[in-house]
Homo-oligomer: A and B are copies of this chain.
Amino acid sequence: MNMMVFEYGEDIIIVDCGVMFPEPELLGVDIVIPDLTYLRDRRDHVRAIVLTHGHEDHIGGLPYVLEELDVPVYGTAFTLALAKSRLEEHGLAEGAVLREMKPKAPFRVGPFQIEFIHLTHSIIDSGALAITTPVGTVIHTGDFKFDPTPTDGRTSDLHTLANYGQRDVLALFSDSTNVERPGMTPSERGVRERFAEIMAEAHGRLVVTCFSTSLHRMQIVADLASEHKRRLCFIGRSMHRNSEIALQMGRLRVPAGVLVAPEDLKDLPRDRVVLVVAGSQGEPLSAMARIAVDSHRWVTLEPGDEVVISARVIPGNEKAIFRMMDHLYRRGAHVHYQDGNQPPVHVSGHGSIEELRLMLNLVRPKYFTPVHGEYRQLARHKEMAEQGSAVSGGTFLLESGNVLEFDGVGARLGEPVPVGHVYIDTGSLEEVGEVVLKERRRISEDGIVVPILAINKHTGELETLPEIVSRGFVHLDNAGDLMESARQVVLKTLEKSKPEEAGDWGMVKDKIRSSLRKFFDQELGKRPMIMPVVLEV
């Protein structure tokens, strides 16, 4: 959920606008976006959103943020194409102002001069931003690796980084994801060898699943498909959409007659096709997950088919991916995944330690701040920078909401600003509040009990015995006796109430809640949510 705000005077630009996917404990929440309170209070000062690249955790929040902040969005051609398709899904593409930025073509937004510097990553058209204001230039790397042989031949623009490094760079904000990995990350081209081996030996269907933004991977499979005379098919909504976009833009090159539509797969021999399928994280409704449990409309697997899982396991997705792999084995498929065997079926899109060091040594900033990583990774990246000699001024470890202030004198932490998570329930496109979430969690753990009192509004006396309904709490078989005892508890509580209490239904409810809580705790060791209702009849 990346979002960074740069502010000079009163003017603001936002770098990236991501979403996060919720933990399973956040029930009924589909995605998480940043809390915009700080920006909402300054909406008139926000000049632009600038995107470093097109991954979901950098652009996925756009539809929600643009609803609140009506500002132009800058990005490279492919990034904007992905952003536009996302906005179209939300019916927001019409009103959005999308402005393409290009390498070596600085542009101005208010007091900011911004230059996009192309860097390699697992997605194409990705890069860093050099942002210059009267107090100096800061460089935000975005996500990067220094890939010497990207599949599109567009290597990282070391020269522009070097040029900035020869002038004064005030601060560097650098990707920390792979600070724990020694050496250099292999090139995107590094998976080609293994893919080629697998394709050469495959006697059945070949299925490759990867992120649907992995154009490098898609290009490698497309090239191998035409070499090995297999037809190529993209499966899954996002895979289909992104491959269409890339083909139209000329960023994915597939020879004529190689592509085939999913519905025509059935007419082709199994050893004459290769499928590139969305759902590498085992997402339950994804094409790959459906194929694994044999419930996909067009694609089935048979013993002897080959499946390549060409993606990392995003923390939190382990169980879903492992379950999917088990199902693939049950289909009889042979599964290739990141098990340490070489050459690799997947390479990371983020630079390892030596690449992070190279970035530091090229840019030679006065101040350094690690970004994009968990706290432990930021801490290690900061430590690494302090051990080297590239940083002349100082290092800062920032967490969400922290503010770093620069002026002619130096840099220092400012007062933190409000930040947080906003939970989105996409079923209704509605924010889910913290209170609702807490209630859901409580109910889901110990159930809910609703004691109902029907009171004669004239006499103030009970009209009937209290009713007690419950859900998610005990088996109905066992519930009878227990609920009978609970009714007696409610009755006794009412009988023992003093007259002045009995007239105060708020107080009666509290007493009932507390006596039932005690009762269920003693009887069952449970603490359901207790929600007394008083009906005057």
Binding site for B on A (CB under 8 A): 23-25, 27-28, 180-182, 315-316, 318-319, 322, 325-330, 335, 339-340, 374-376, 379, 425, 427-430, 433, 435-436, 439-441, 443-448, 450, 452, 454, 456, 463-464, 467, 469, 471-476, 524-526, 529, 531, 533, 535-537
Contact = CB atoms under 8 A, between A and B. Distances in A.
B428 A475 contact: no
A327 B374 CA distance: 11
Contacts of A327: 375
Contacts of A340: 180-182
A537 B318 contact: no
B27 A444 contact: yes
A23 B319 contact: yes
Most chain-B Cβ atoms within 10 A of its Cβ — which of A24, A376, A433?
Answer: A376
Given A375-B330, A535-B454, A472 B439 contact: yes
B525 A435 contact: no
Contacts of A28: 444-447
Contacts of A473: 436
Contacts of A535: 452, 454, 464, 467, 535, 537
Nearest to A315: B318
Contacts of A441: 27, 444
Contacts of A444: 27-28, 440-441, 443-444, 472
A528 to B, nearest CB: 10
Nearest to A179: B339
Contact of A471 (B325, B329, B531): B531
Contacts of A325: 374-376
Chain A contact surface mostly = mixed
Contacts of A467: 533, 535
Given A325-B375, A439-B472, A443-B472, 8 more contacts: A28-B446, A316-B319, A326-B376, A327-B375, A329-B376, A335-B376, A427-B524, A436-B473
Nearest to A427: B525
Closest 9 CB pairs of A and B: A444-B444, A326-B375, A463-B537, A440-B472, A428-B525, A27-B444, A28-B445, A24-B24, A439-B472
A281 to B, nearest CB: 13
B319 A315 contact: yes
11 contacts: A23-B319, A315-B318, A328-B376, A425-B526, A427-B524, A439-B471, A440-B443, A440-B445, A440-B472, A443-B444, A471-B529
B464 A322 contact: no
A435 B428 CA distance: 27
A180 B339 contact: yes
Given A24-B23, A319-B315, A448 B445 contact: no
Nearest to A329: B379
